[in-house]
Amino acid sequence: MTLSVFDYLIILVYFLFVIGVGFIIKRKIKSSNDFLRQSTRIPLWITSLAFISANLGAQEVLGMVASGAKYGVMTVHFYWIGAIFAMVFLGVFMMPFYYGSKARSVPEYLSLRFDEKTRGLNAISFAVMTVFSSGISLYALAKLLEIILHWDFDLSIVVAAGIVMAYIFYGGLTSAVYNEVLQFFLIVLGLSPLVIVALHDVGGWSVIKENLAPELTHAWKYMGTADANPMGIHFMSLIFGLGFVMSFGYWCTDFLVVQRAMIAKDMQAARQTPIVAALPKMLMPLIVILPGLIAITLMTPALASKGYSIPTDANGGLDYTMVLPSMIAHYYPSGLLGLGITALMASFMSGMAGNVTAFNSVFTYDIYQAYFAKNKSDKHYLKVGKLTTVVGILASIATAYIAKSFNNINDFLQLVFSFVNGPLFATFLLGMFWKRTTGHGAFWGLVAGTCAAALTHGLTLAEGKGAWIYPLAEIKSGMGQAFIIASMAFIANFVTTLIVSLMTNPKPEAELRGLVYSLTPKESFAKGPWYSNPVTLGIILLTITVLLNILFF
């Protein structure tokens, strides 16, 4: 892949604009709240697009295209089952507690609802996860640039990390959020020409359906048994593991995404943020799954004349991760290549910045201020927030080099995610909807859930991974194993929290107002127009989601 001067110009303009946004926001940063939360009244369209853009990192873009090629239409479950329902649930039921409690972060909500030890456990595990996640994004970006453009790995790391640091250091969270919106448009508009031209080249959706095996073009039809579909998952495992535990665990409790709704201008906008975001999220498969399906169709004998093939890895197998870069190289002429590369860079930077800003807030508010320096001046916390940005970026660089040394670190990270996020939703579900839940119950529930996840991983084997205690059961795919791990973690947390809560004393009801469903006054939307009501919007979105599932059944 050779870039022309115009391609380099597109990349250069992108760099200038993202840093420029940081400088524009810089003027408004006067307090730690401006830096770590919001420096202006951020409108709904911005918080909504930032909400999905924070999740539109490397894993989402490259990973979903790869899954589209590997698993076919079934990949849409990560959107239509694994995201939309949880996003609507967050907007309708959970945002009133996050926003109404005036908590500045998810761990701070845990401290208000439960106690300091539950907050500390969640804050530390989250901070470690975000640094690792940010480092993996950085590593993946540098690796991609090294492979497809033969750019120097070290230089790519320094430049990408330097740019992200510049715009967060100057503009804080608002700058990251504004850039996420720019990056969202860049990803969507930068990859749309690829989808259109590749779909035209392959001959349209009917040709894809004619040439691919039927289990690759149906979302549900072959899920009656695990052996009949490429993911190796039974529909019940999918609904409970992905559709309930993993999906709600991520979209409803992960501060990285919830933070974007928590900085909305008012309660109504905070509730509408995930619901409005669900609409573009629902359509994302067109950008990130369809190219994968087209790629695998182009590999069929009938379309061999098109001259495209998915690159192979060192073992001679198909390297699905390289599907998107190879399609950009195949279809984009010189002069447009820079746009494709910039769209990829935007996805990596967006993922990295999201993690760094979430790390900033959690470290400053939930670790530093909560345990090390309680009553310092606001200026002091602003300094700490800025310093944490630098430390977070440096830690990400270190993690990127660790990832370079261990080629399976991404698998390890995914495992850690399922250990930590899997059980977390049980804590919130019980905490928000059962006033009897206690701090001891929540803490030991989290510990039990994480232990159950580790135990399940140690006793199950999937694609050669796991079973480090004893190979008790074999699971067809790593994805199926992740769903089962998350499900076991959720159940263990739920049961433990329930039992320990019944054995310990709950907080007085007066302290739980605004934090628990039954003790919080319900907001009425009867007077406003229908589109301002999160419940009405949620019902419309869920109806469309059900229809899409039927259409691609």
Partner 1 sequence: MMDKLIKRLDELNFVIGLYFGFVSLILWLGYFTSDDMHRPLILYTALTFLIFSGFMIWVKGIVE
What is the contact surface with partner 1 in residues (CB under 8 A)? Answer: 4, 6, 9-10, 13-14, 17, 20-21, 24, 40-41, 43, 45-46, 178, 181-182, 185-186, 189, 193, 197, 265, 331-336, 338-339
Question: Closest separation between CB of residue 532 and partner 1, Å?
Answer: 16
Q: DSSP string of 478-510?
A: HHHHHHHHHHHHHHHHHHHHHHHHHHSPPPPGG
C-beta of residue 40 within 8 angstroms of C-beta of residue 189? no
Report the nearest approach of partner 1 to the CB of residue 102 (Å).
21
Task: Tell me whether residue 5 or residue 551 sits nearer to partner 1 (CB atom).
Answer: 5
Give 311 or 335: the residue with its C-beta nearer to partner 1.
335
Q: How far is the CB of 25 from partner 1 (least distance, A)?
A: 9
Q: Where are the alpha helices (DSSP H) in 322-433?
A: 323-331, 337-361, 378-405, 409-433
**Phi-psi category of residue 254: left, alpha or beta, with phi > 0 → left and psi -120 to 50 → alpha:** beta
Helix axis angle, 439-459 to 116-149, nearest 10°: 40
The minimum distance between CB 226 and partner 1, in angstroms, equals: 42
Q: Give 50 or 84: the residue with its C-beta nearer to partner 1.
A: 50
Q: Among residues 294 and 485, whose Cβ is nearest to partner 1?
A: 294
Rounded to a whole number of angstroms, the minimum distance from the CB of residue 9 to partner 1 is 5
| Least distance CB 4 / partner 1 (angstroms) | 7
We find the least distance from the C-beta atom of residue 527 to partner 1, in angstroms, to be 22
Q: Which is nearer to partner 1, 22 or 506 (CB)?
A: 22
Measured from the CB atom, the residue of 194 and 252 that comes closer to partner 1 is: 194
CA distances from 473 to 245, 284, 460, 461 (A): 21, 35, 5, 6
What is the rounded distance in angstroms from the CA atom of residue 29 to the CA atom of residue 178?
A: 14
126's tokens: 């989250």
Sequence-separated (6 or more) residues with CB below 8 Å from residue 540: none
3-state helix, strand, coil in the chain (%, to 5): 75, 0, 20
CB count within 10 Å of CB 82 equals 21
Nearer Cβ to partner 1, position 6 or 553?
6
Of the pair 181, 500, the CB lying nearest partner 1 is at 181
| Sign of the torsion formed by the C-alpha atoms of 230, 232, 234 and 237 | negative
And the tokens for 220? Answer: 């549900």
Q: How far apart are CA 124 and CA 242, in angstroms?
A: 25
Q: Which residue has the tokens 């989601």?
A: 545
Cβ nearer to partner 1, comparing 193 with 203 = 193
The structure tokens 């409690």 sit at 101
Q: Which is nearer to partner 1, 40 or 518 (CB)?
A: 40
Q: CB within 8 A of 331, min separation 6: which ones?
A: 194, 197, 198, 201
CA distances from 99 to 175, 253, 268 (A): 21, 13, 10
User: DSSP string of 125-168?
Assistant: HHHHHHHHHHHHHHHHHHHHHHHHH---HHHHHHHHHHHHHHHH
User: Are 72 and 230 a contacting pair, CB within 8 Å?
Assistant: yes
Q: Which is nearer to partner 1, 30 or 513 (CB)?
A: 30
CA-CA distance, 419 to 416, in Å (whole number)? 5
In angstroms, give the least distance from the CB of 56 to partner 1. Answer: 16
DSSP symbol at 104? S
Name which of 10 and 161 has its Cβ closer to partner 1: 10
* Shortest separation between residue 312's beta carbon and partner 1, angstroms: 25
What is the distance between the alpha carbons of residues 300 and 514, in angstroms, rounded to a whole number?
A: 57
**Measured distance CA(142)–CA(311) in Å, rounded:** 19
Provide, rounded to whole angstroms, the least separation between the CB of residue 40 and partner 1.
8
CB of 54 to partner 1, least distance (A): 16
Q: How far is the CB of 28 from partner 1 (least distance, A)?
A: 9
**In whole angstroms, how close is the CB of 8 to partner 1 at the nearest point?**
10
Of the two residues 17 and 406, which places its CB atom closer to partner 1 in the complex? 17
